[in-house]
Chain A
Amino acid sequence: MIRSWDEIDGDLKLSCDVVIVGSGAGGAPAAALLAEAGWKVIVLEEGGYHPTESFTPNAEGANRRLYRDAGAGILLGDPPIRLLSGRTLGGSTALGYGTAVRPRPGKLAEWRERYGLTELTDAHLEPFFGQAEKDLGVSRADRRRISPADRLIQTGAKKAGWTVEPLQRAAVGCRGCGVCAMGCPTGAQQLTLVSYLPRALKAGAEIYCDAQVRKIKFRKGKAVGVSGAVLKRYARKTVRRFEVSAPWVIVSAGALGSPSLLQRSLGSESRPAPATLGANLRIHPTATLLALFDKPILGWEGIPQGLALAPTGRTDLWAAGGSLHPAQAALIAPGFGHDHKAVMARFASMAQFTVMVEDRSEGEVRALNEFDVEGRYRLGHEDADALKYGLKSLAEAFFEAGAVETIPGAIGAVTGIAKDRANALESIVRLSSGSLLLSGLHPMGTCAMGASAETSAVDVHGKVWGREAVYASDASIFPSALGVPPMLTVTALALRLANHLINQSEGGRP
């Protein structure tokens, strides 16, 4: 049963075995597993329910329906960074390209050694990653359908010293429309909307959309449910109120929403909230390069992310293609008015590629009110230099592949032409950090797992330190930047949490 705001005709008082706040990669897998184990599950999603057939490649519609703050969220800092996250049934899984990769080798070892997460070994997590990959139909991107940008850059990337790997994707029967980030219109991409949530529903879970959880309720330090408001779609108008009683609460509202909800809920408690809640924000700062060719390549066709590239010897950079709607590319294309139009007129000859850094820089988030989260992020020199290096290397690779011009995403960036390649590449290195037009694609780390309440917000299972029966399950629990798109890791950890709860309870029942 899925109910939206206009189908709820009175205030709600509900009870269940577990209430899950959020329906993305951290919430939906747990909902499916727990419901299938016989638990009564309620999923509360702040965003609306938008079925597959409603997805169209229209920037206006997609922004409004799927993105928090209509895709205009900003992290304050120098440079300010555009932050993208989902606010729809399916969460941020609805926004990505379906890339489903495991953490790079060495990442789990780092988490064990630096953060005391000794349980997180490859062997321990293997069954959960395996299960997630099976559930989501993860397979190598169909090479016949990879995008023109991917095909073009791989020839240049190898010459420029990058390693090129085919990407694993959570997509079944993908036709390569290239419009994934506006919601997959064919149902191929395994958003939770078409994967775990139908399973949860089939097993009896109830899903409420447009339902904003405002507080987790505690009794003597133990979570006993949540309360909140049903909002009119696309508005901040409360139309109904709800209370859900449950002996278990899972918070999967993302790296902005989860710490904010916990801050609001724990702030009124006599026991102190974990000191690190909301700190340690990582985002994988991402820069974009546009490469122009002398003939149309129809860059929007095909699977936008079919290959992953990394400069040889560097593990902190990860580059992959993208398929931007013209309105998004227009934000990066230089100039205004006529100058801008001259660049955009060559859109069909344009390849778009992104490079992201496994960030060492940090930020923090803070709840302003029920709706708004203030985020700040301080891009450090090391990460800024890495991004500039990445942009320069991408430009080099595209020139090798025959690009006639490259445009780094930066305010006041100089367009580099192939004839003056050396200067073009050098100009990228000279960009000031503050001029980079960056996006934060993967907010994480704000309810970090760790070995103690002094250094982290949650334990190795995601349980909030100092409280009982309340767990975080999303990218917010990563203790450091993952370095690759986090969807598969979040899913695997959510499956692990569900198993943990089932194992903790008598006979697998709550």
Chain B
Amino acid sequence: MKSRSHSPLQLLPTRRGFLAALGAWLAQLPLAAAAAPNLEFLEHHPARGRYFLTDSEEATLRRFCRIVLPSGGAFALGWEEAGMIERLDRYWYGWSPLHQKAVHWSLWGLRWGVPLTILRLSRFEGLDARSATDYLTRLSKAPVGLRYGIYRILLLSNWFCFYNAPEAIAQVGYAPSCGEPKSFLDPIIESSLPTDSQERP
């Protein structure tokens, strides 16, 4: 992957790349909004039932996704469906620190966006207001899961740079082979191998 510097001129392709990704993503919004929300991916999403705690909260998450997915939440929670994995593969390392910060803070913004969305849910989705308030209270009192969830998303952004990304893997030189291991050690280290007398019977 090409490394980019941060001078204003050289930022241009980066910005163009970012905007291309954003544009492609935005382009699908009308479709996403018009079609009935396809939440089937949640059935198989590794996050299901993990970052959020109970059945009712999971139900809330699904409602949350239905509203938020076509907007900013798509980045965080719907990335598989929205094709963001490939975009991350392509762009994450190319992004300027400014773009990274923007994404970083957008994701952190979800921390506050989620409870607010819950309140919206109580109005638009018929969620029992008391449940919504309980949920909000729990989130604010115990933000660990959410905090970790968001941080994890950021970590996973790094993960996805290498997840099924042959270019990136090749770039770091990872090339396991089931043939004979190469001899790469210097003789001094080799000579310090445990002797048979040191080994457990």
Chains A and B come from one and the same complex:
yes
Bound together, the chains give a CA A484 to CA B156 distance in angstroms of 29
Q: Are B3 and A302 touching (Cβ within 8 A)?
A: no
**Which residue of chain B lies nearest to A185 when distances are taken between CB atoms in the complex?**
B178
Closest to A175 in B: B178
Q: B54-80 CB contact bits vs A (8 Å, 1 = yes)? A: 110000000000000000000000000
Interface segment, one of B27-35, B91-99, B115-123: B91-99
Q: Is the beta-carbon distance between A333 and B184 smaller than 8 angstroms?
A: no
Chain A residue nearest to B156 (CB atoms) is A331
- A74 engages B50 (CB within 8 Å): yes
Known contacts A296-B173, A374-B54: A331-B158 contact under CB 8 Å: yes
Q: Is the CB of B200 within 8 A of A166?
A: yes
Interface pair A74/B155, CB less than 8 Å apart:
no
Q: Is A416 an interface residue (CB 8 A)?
A: no
Taking a contact as CB atoms under 8 Å apart, the answer to whether B176 and A179 are in contact is: yes
Are B93's CB and A341's CB within 8 A?
yes
Residue on B with the closest CB to A401? Answer: B189
B169 touches A298 (CB 8 A): no
- CB nearest to A402 among chain B residues: B189
> Is residue A123 within 8 Å, beta carbon to beta carbon, of the partner chain?
no
The answer to whether A186 has its CB under 8 Å from any CB of chain B is yes
Q: Are A326 and B46 in contact (CB under 8 A)?
A: no
CB neighbors of B among A153-193 (8 A): 154-155, 164-166, 168, 175-179, 185-186
Q: Which residues of A contact B93 (CB under 8 A)?
A: 337-338, 340-341
Tell me the nearest residue of chain B to A146, going by C-beta.
Answer: B193
Whether A71 sits at the interface, judged by CB under 8 Å, is yes
Whether A80 is near chain B, meaning CB under 8 Å from some CB there, is yes
Known: A175-B178, A340-B158. A148 touches B172 (CB 8 A): no
Rounded to whole Å, the gap between the CB of B68 and the closest CB of chain A is: 21
Asked if B46 and A72 sit within 8 Å, CB to CB, the answer is yes
Given A69-B50, A145-B181, also A77-B43 (CB < 8 A): no
Contacts A140-B199, A143-B194; A59 near B46 (Cβ below 8 A)? no
What are the interface flags for A78-118 relative to B under an 8 Å C-beta threshold, 1 for contact and 0 otherwise?
11100000000000000000000000000000000000000
B105 to chain A, nearest CB (A): 12
Is A347 within 8 A of B172, CB to CB?
A: yes
Interface string of B29-56 (1 = CB under 8 A from A): 0000000000000011011111101110
Whether A37 is near chain B, meaning CB under 8 Å from some CB there, is no
Partner of B48, one of A71, A165, A372: A372
Tell me the chain A residues, 342-364 only, with Cβ under 8 Å from chain B.
344-345, 347-348
User: In whole angstroms, what is the CA distance A236 to B161 when docked?
Assistant: 28
Instruction: List A residues 295-326 near B (Cβ within 8 Å).
Output: 296-298, 300-302, 307, 325-326
| Chain B residue at minimum C-beta to C-beta distance from A307 | B194
Given contacts A175-B179, A330-B158, contact A155 B192 (CB under 8 A): yes
Tell whether B159 is near chain A: CB-to-CB under 8 Å: yes
Answer yes or no: A58 CB below 8 A from chain B CBs: yes
- Provide the bound-state CA to CA distance between A161 and B172, in Å: 33
Is B133 part of the contact surface with A, judged by Cβ < 8 Å? no
List residues of chain A with CB within 8 A of the CB of B158. 330-331, 333, 336, 340, 344
Cβ A347 vs Cβ B176 within 8 A = no
> Which one of B144, B157, B175, B176 lies within 8 Å of A77 (CB-CB)?
B144
Residues of B within 8 A of A74 (CB): 50-51, 148
B135 on interface, CB distance cutoff 8 Å: no
* Closest B residue, CB atoms, query A434: B144
Q: Which of A59, A151, A368 contacts B55 (CB 8 A)?
A: A368
Give the distance to chain A from B181, nearest Cβ to Cβ, in Å. Answer: 5
- A72 and B48 alpha carbons, distance in the complex (Å): 10
Q: How many pairs of residues, A versus B, come closer than 8 Å at their CB atoms?
A: 159
What chain A residues lie within 8 Å of B182 (beta carbons)?
298, 301
Give A367 to B74 CA distance when docked, in angstroms: 29
Asked if residues B43 and A236 are in contact (CB atoms below 8 Å), the reply is yes
Cα-based distance from A410 to B157 in the complex (angstroms): 16
Least CB distance from A284 to B in Å reads: 20
CB 8 Å contact bits of B158-201 with A (1 = contact, 0 = none): 11111110001101111111111110110001101110001110
Scan residues 116-166 of chain B and give those whose CB is less than 8 A from a CB of chain A.
144-145, 148, 151, 154-164
B159 contacts A178, C-beta separation under 8 Å: no
Judge if A73 is at the interface, Cβ distance under 8 Å: yes
What CA separation (Å) do A186 and B177 show in the bound complex?
Answer: 11
Please measure, in the bound complex, the distance between the C-alpha atom of A372 and the C-alpha atom of B93, giving whole angstroms. Answer: 35
B16 near A: Cβ within 8 Å?
no
Q: Closest CB of chain A to B61's CB: distance in Å?
A: 13
B154 adjacent to A336 (CB under 8 Å):
yes
Known A235-B43, A337-B93, A374-B54; contact A154-B192, beta-carbon cutoff 8 A: yes
- Contact in complex: B178, A186 (CB < 8 Å): yes
Contacting residue for B184 out of A69, A297, A341, A371, CB 8 A? A297
Cα-based distance from A448 to B183 in the complex (angstroms): 46
Q: Is residue B104 within 8 Å, beta carbon to beta carbon, of the partner chain? A: yes
Cβ A80 vs Cβ B144 within 8 A: yes
**With a CB–CB cut-off of 8 A, which chain B residues contact A371?**
49
Residues of B within 8 A of A145 (CB): 181
CA distance A165 to B196 in the complex (A): 11
Bound Cα distance from A155 to B172, whole angstroms: 27
Chain B residues whose CB sits within 8 angstroms of the CB of A166 once the complex forms = 194, 198-200
Q: Which residues of A contact B180 (CB under 8 A)?
A: 175
Contacts of B184 in A (CB 8 A): 148, 296-298, 301
B92 nearest CB across to chain A (Å): 6
The answer to whether A151 and B172 touch (CB under 8 A), given A325-B162, A341-B93, is no
Given contacts A176-B181, A301-B184, A347-B173, 7 further A-B contacts (CB under 8 A): A140-B199, A166-B198, A179-B176, A298-B173, A336-B158, A344-B162, A368-B54
Nearest 7 A/B pairs, CB to CB: A72-B46, A347-B172, A372-B49, A60-B164, A327-B162, A348-B173, A177-B178
Chain A residues within 8 Å of B, Cβ to Cβ: 57-60, 69-74, 76-80, 140, 143, 145-146, 148, 151-152, 154-155, 164-166, 168, 175-179, 185-186, 234-236, 296-298, 300-302, 307, 325-328, 330-331, 333, 336-338, 340-341, 344-345, 347-348, 368-369, 371-372, 374, 411, 434, 437
Q: Can you name 8 A-B pairs with beta carbons within 8 Å?
A: A148-B184, A166-B194, A236-B44, A327-B163, A330-B159, A340-B93, A341-B3, A341-B93
